[in-house]
Structure 1
Amino acid sequence: MTDTASRLDDSRYQAVSSRDARFDGEFFTAVKTTGIYCRPSCPAVTPKRRNVHFYPSAAAAQRAGFRACRRCRPDTAPGSAEWNVRADLVGRAVRLIGDGVVDREGVAGLAARLGYSSRQVNRQLTEELGAGPVALARAQRAHTARVLLQTTVMPVTEIAFAAGFASVRQFNDTIRAVYARTPSELRGRSGAPAGHARAGVPLRLAHRGPYAARQVFDFLERRAIAGIEETTGTPGARLYRRTLRLPYGTGVAEVREPAAAGHGDWLDCRLHLTDPRDLSTAVQRVRRLFDLDADPYAVAERLGADPHLRAPVAARPGLRSPGAADAEEQAVRAVLGQQVSLSAAAKLGATLVAAYGKPLAAPDGTLTHVFPEPATLADAALDELGMPDARRRTLRTLGRALADGTVRLDAGADREAAERALLGLPGIGPWTAGYIRMRALGDPDVFLQGDAGVRHGLAALGAGPADAEAWRPWRSYAVHHLWTAATDRTAAKDD
C-alpha cells in the first residue's frame, strides 16, 4: 500500500470511529473477523484498525466475500455524489447501471451506449470501484430483491425475475451471499399484509446531511403539470405525486415532505408500478428528481466561503438542485417554459399532456396520463397550445431529435455532447440548453447567466456573473440560491 493510500485509509478509519454519516455511500467498511461490511456511520462497536478493509462500493465488498450488515443496511446508503459531478466514462457508466441498463441490455448494451468496448468499461470500473458492471448490477439486484421481499407479498419466484435475476438459483445464491440468509428468512415476518397491491411499495430514500425539503417541494409544486403531477397538503406536510414512464410499464411515485424536525436522513416514498421489474429504475429516477445523492457538505464548503453566498448558504442548509424523473420530458418542458411565466408553462404542459399524453389504465386521483413520448410530438400539429409557429416547430424538432437519437439525454449521456446537439437545433439557445443540462442531465455545475431570476438574485446579493467562477463545481446549487434570493427580494418589496 502506498503512503497516500495508507493516509486515505487512516482518514476513513477516523470517519468510522466517529460514525460520520457524511461518508455514507462514499466508501464501505469491511471487517475481516466478522465477514460483514457496513456504512461508516454503523452504530456497532468500532472494529480494530487492523481488522478493517475499505471498499469504494458495496459491490466491491460483496465481490470480496463480505455480507451486508443487518444493523446499518449499507445497501440503502445514498449514492456517492462523485458520480453526479463526474462526466467521464466511469461516472456515466455508474448512472446507466443505476438506471437498470445492464439488466435490460447487458454489458454489451452498456458499452455501446458509452461508445467504448465492453473490456474498456469493465477495466475502468474495476480500477475505480473494485467491481465491474456485472457485479455492480448484481448488488443493485440484491437490494431490489430485499425491498420486494420485505415490502410485498409477491411470490419469491416472481421476485427473483422482477429484481432482474436470470434464474431462481442465481437469485437464491446471491441473497445468501449478500445477506447470509435465504430469501424466506430475509422475508421473515416483514412481508406486506394482504391488500398490498393497492398500497404500493413503501421505501425510505436515504440522503446525506441536511435536506432543504421545503424549498424542493416549493420548487416542484410551482412547476407541477396537471395530469402527470400533483401536490396536496400544506407546507411541512405535503405529498408530491407524479406519473412515471418506465422501461416495462408505467408507475406513480408518491414522496412525502418530511417534518422540519425530528426526521431521519430519508424521504418517505411509495411506488405504484404496473411491472415490478421497474422498481430499481423508478427508485433511481425519483432519487435524481429530488437530488438525494448530493453532498451538501461539499457544496456548503465551497459556496459558503464566498462572501456573497455565505449568508444564503447558512440560512438554507441542504439546498438541493432538483433533477428530472424523465430527461426527455424535462427537455420538452424547458422549451414550453421559454419566455413565459411558471404558471403559463404549467398550463401549456397540461394542455400538451391532455392532447398527446398516454392515458393511464385507470386514473389515479388527478393523475391521468404519462407525459407524451418524443416520437408522438415529432409529428404532432400542436395547434392546441396556442403558441407561435416557431415555438411549435422547435417542439417538433426536439421531439424528432430525441426520438432518432440525434440528442441523447439518458442517464449516461455525455453532457458536453448533449448540449452541443441541443444548441444545433433551431429555437434552442443557451438558456434552454443549460437548463436541460442542469435538470435533465443532473449537472451540478451549470450557471444560467442569461436567466432573469439569476440576474435579480445576483443584484440582490451584490454579486456579478464573474463571481460565479469561484462557485465551481457547484454552480447549479448557486443558481438555486440566487433564485431564492430574487424571490425573497420581490416578496420584501411587496410587503
Structure 2
Amino acid sequence: MIDEETRYEAVRSRDARFDGEFFFAVETTGIYCRPSCPAVTPKRQNVRYYATAAAAQSSGFRACRRCRPDAVPGSAAWNVRADVVGRAMRMIGDGVVDREGVGGLAVRLGYSARQVQRQLTAEVGAGPVALARAQRAHTARVLLQTTGLSITEIAFAAGFASVRQFNDTIRAVYAATPSELRAAAPRGGPPARRGAAPSAGIPLRLAHRGPYQAIAVFDLLARETVPGIEEMNGPRGRRTYRRTLRLPYGTGIVAVDERPGAPAPRTPAHHGGWLDARLRLTDPRDLTTAVQRLRRLFDLDADPYAVDERLGQDPRLGPLVAARPGLRSPGTADPDELAVRALVGTAEAERLVRRYGKTLDAPSGSLTHVFPEPAVLAQAEPAGTLGALTAALADGTLRLDAGADRDDARQTLLALPGMDDDTAAVIRTRALGDPDVAPPGAEVPDTWRPWRSYALQHLRVAAESAAYEPAT
C-alpha cells in the first residue's frame, strides 16, 4: 500500500509512474485527476485519494478535462493478485458485469453477490456496478471522440441500458453533455479520429507506464504468427502487427504499431507512453473487451518500475535489466486459442485455422479467419491431448478467462492425458497472465519472486539477441 505522504509527493511532483495506481480528488473543485495532472498542485488538506476512478466518481467527483484520468494504464496489482478482488477486477475489465450482471460475476468467482460487493468496496472503494459504470463512461468517451456513431448508438454500444442513463452518467463523470464531449475531441490526432465510421477503424492509444521494449514484444509475435489470423508487416522497429479477434458480440480486426508514440525509453522524462492501434469491430459493444484483451496481449498494465527494481538487484539479471528496462511478459488476446497453440505449435495451428476456423465475412489482407472455437475442435478432432484440452475448454472444466483461478487451472491442465509441465507453464504464463511462473524442474532464486515470468523473459531475450549478433 502507498502511504499518504508518498501519494502527495507523487501529486506534487506530477509523477506519471503512479498514474493508474491511485487517483486524487480536490474537495474545493469537485474534480479528480491522475497524479501527473499538469494543473496547479492543490493544498494537502484539500486532497482525497482513491484506488479507482470509480471510487472517486462514486464520491461525487468529476473527471479532469486536462489530464483525462480515465485514459491511464490499469493498476498492475489486479494482474498480479490471484485473490477474489484481483480476479473480479480483471473480469469487470473484460466486460462480464455488462454482459452477465453482478450475479454472473459472482457465479464465475464462486462467491455470493453480497460477498463480492463487500470485498470490492472494502478494497477499491467501489462495487462492481460502479466499476462497470466508470468503464462504460470511458468506452463512451472513446466512441464519441473517435467515431461517427450517433449518440443513441454509442449509448447502447458502451453498455448503457438507456439513453437517459447514458446522458446522466456522462454529465456526472465529465461535467458535459455527450455532444459537448464529442466537440471537445483532441485535435491533431490520427486522420480517422474525427467523424470516422466504425468500418474505418477506431483509432486508439493503448497507454503504458514506464519504458516499453516494443521490439522484444514484436519479435515474439513475429515468430509466433499464424497465417490467416495474424500478420506482421514492415521493417523491424517500425512493424505493424495485425490479427483477428473473436469477441462476445462479433469479431474484430486490430492493427498495432511497433513504433511508440512517446520519448525514447532511456530519457529521464520517460514515465510512460502508448502503442498506436486501430480497431475495426463488427459490433461496437465489443470495444471494452477488445481493448482489455489487447492490453493483456501486450502486457500494458505492468509496473516496470517494480519489476526492474526487484530483478535489477540480482547479479545475473542486473545487466539484462539495465540493457532492457521495461521488458514485458506478453500475454494473449484469446486464452483458449493460446492454450491450443502452446500445445500443437505454429504449423499445426495454421492447419487448424484453415480447416476449422471461422471465415471472416470481409477478409482484410491476409487475415481471412478467426481461430476455431474449442467446441468445434473438440468435435472435429476428439482424439489425443488436443481433444482432451478442447473438450475441457468447451464444457467449462478448464477455465482460462480473465477471472480464472490460476492454481485450479494448472491442476486441471496437468490432469489432462498427455499434458506436460512445460506446456502447462506456458499456458499459465501467457493465457492466465501469471507474472510469477518458474520453469518446471528448474531451481531459480526466491529473490526473483513475484516476477519470475519477467526474469525468464529477460533470459530468453538476451539469448536470442546474442544469437543475432554477428561473430567478431
What is the TM-score with the length of structure 2 in the denominator? Answer: 0.94
1:309 is aligned to 2:317: yes
Query: Considering only aligned residues, what root-mean-square deviation do their CA atoms show, in Å?
Result: 1.6
1:487 is aligned to 2:464: yes
1:442 is aligned to 2:433: yes
For residue 10 of structure 1, report the CA deviation from its aligned partner.
1.5
For residue 486 of structure 1, report the CA deviation from its aligned partner.
2.2
Q: Which amino acid aligns with 1:290?
A: F
State how far apart, in whole Å, the 2-side matches of 1:259 and 1:142 are: 26
Query: How many corresponding residue pairs?
Result: 459
2:47 corresponds to which residue? 52
After superposition, what is the alpha-carbon deviation per residue over 1:27-73, rounded to whole angstroms, capped at 9, x for unaligned? 00100011100000111111110110000100000000000011110
From 403, 406, 412, the equivalent of 1:412 is: 403
The secondary structure found in structure 1 opposite 2:211 is coil
Q: Which amino acid aligns with 1:305?
A: Q
What is the TM-score with the length of structure 1 in the denominator? Answer: 0.90
After superposition, what is the alpha-carbon deviation per residue over 1:349-373, rounded to whole angstroms, capped at 9, x for unaligned? 2111000100010111100001010
From 454, 468, 472, the equivalent of 1:477 is: 454
Post-superposition, which runs of at least 4 consecutive aligned residues in structure 1 deviate over 6 A? Answer: none
From 94, 105, 121, the equivalent of 1:126 is: 121
1:208 is aligned to 2:216: no
1:110 is aligned to 2:105: yes
1:140 corresponds to which residue? 135
State how far apart, in whole Å, the 1-side matches of 2:366 and 2:469 are: 34
Q: 1:253 to 1:115 in 2, by over 3 A?
A: same
For residue 347 of structure 1, report the CA deviation from its aligned partner.
2.1
For residue 236 of structure 1, report the CA deviation from its aligned partner.
1.6
Q: 1:160 to 1:118 in 2, by over 3 A?
A: same
1:195-234 map, 5 Å: 196-234=197-235
1:152-231 map, 5 Å: 152-188=147-183, 190=185, 192-193=193-194, 196-231=197-232
State how far apart, in whole Å, the 2-side matches of 1:36 and 1:81 are: 24
1:380-391 map, 5 Å: 380-381=380-381
2:284 corresponds to which residue? 276
State how far apart, in whole Å, the 2-side matches of 1:260 and 1:218 are: 19
Q: Which amino acid aligns with 1:488?
A: S
For residue 194 of structure 1, report the CA deviation from its aligned partner.
5.3
After superposition, what is the alpha-carbon deviation per residue over 1:269-318, rounded to whole angstroms, capped at 9, x for unaligned? 11100000000000000000000000000000110000000000000011
1:325 corresponds to which residue? 333
After superposition, what is the alpha-carbon deviation per residue over 1:252-271, rounded to whole angstroms, capped at 9, x for unaligned? 11111125973661111111
State how far apart, in whole Å, the 2-side matches of 1:302 and 1:186 are: 42
State how far apart, in whole Å, the 1-side matches of 2:148 and 2:8 are: 40
State how far apart, in whole Å, the 1-side matches of 2:351 and 2:421 are: 26
1:351 corresponds to which residue? 351
1:430 is aligned to 2:421: yes
State how far apart, in whole Å, the 1-side matches of 2:470 and 2:263 are: 34
State how far apart, in whole Å, the 1-side matches of 2:471 and 2:346 are: 24
1:16-95 map, 5 Å: 16-95=11-90
State how far apart, in whole Å, the 1-side matches of 2:399 and 2:262 are: 41
State how far apart, in whole Å, the 2-side matches of 1:322 and 1:206 are: 15
State how far apart, in whole Å, the 1-side matches of 2:180 and 2:470 are: 61
User: Any gaps of 5 or more consecutive residues in structure 2?
Assistant: 186-191, 265-271
Q: 1:404 to 1:266 in 2, by over 3 A?
A: same
The secondary structure found in structure 2 opposite 1:268 is strand
After superposition, what is the alpha-carbon deviation per residue over 1:216-269, rounded to whole angstroms, capped at 9, x for unaligned? 111111101000001100112110001000000000111111259736611111
Q: Which moved more, 1:105-114 or 1:196-205?
A: 196-205
State how far apart, in whole Å, the 2-side matches of 1:164 and 1:355 are: 35
User: Any gaps of 5 or more consecutive residues in structure 1?
Assistant: 337-344, 383-391, 451-464
1:368 corresponds to which residue? 368
Q: 1:164 to 1:195 in 2, by over 3 A?
A: closer
Q: Which amino acid aligns with 1:243?
A: T
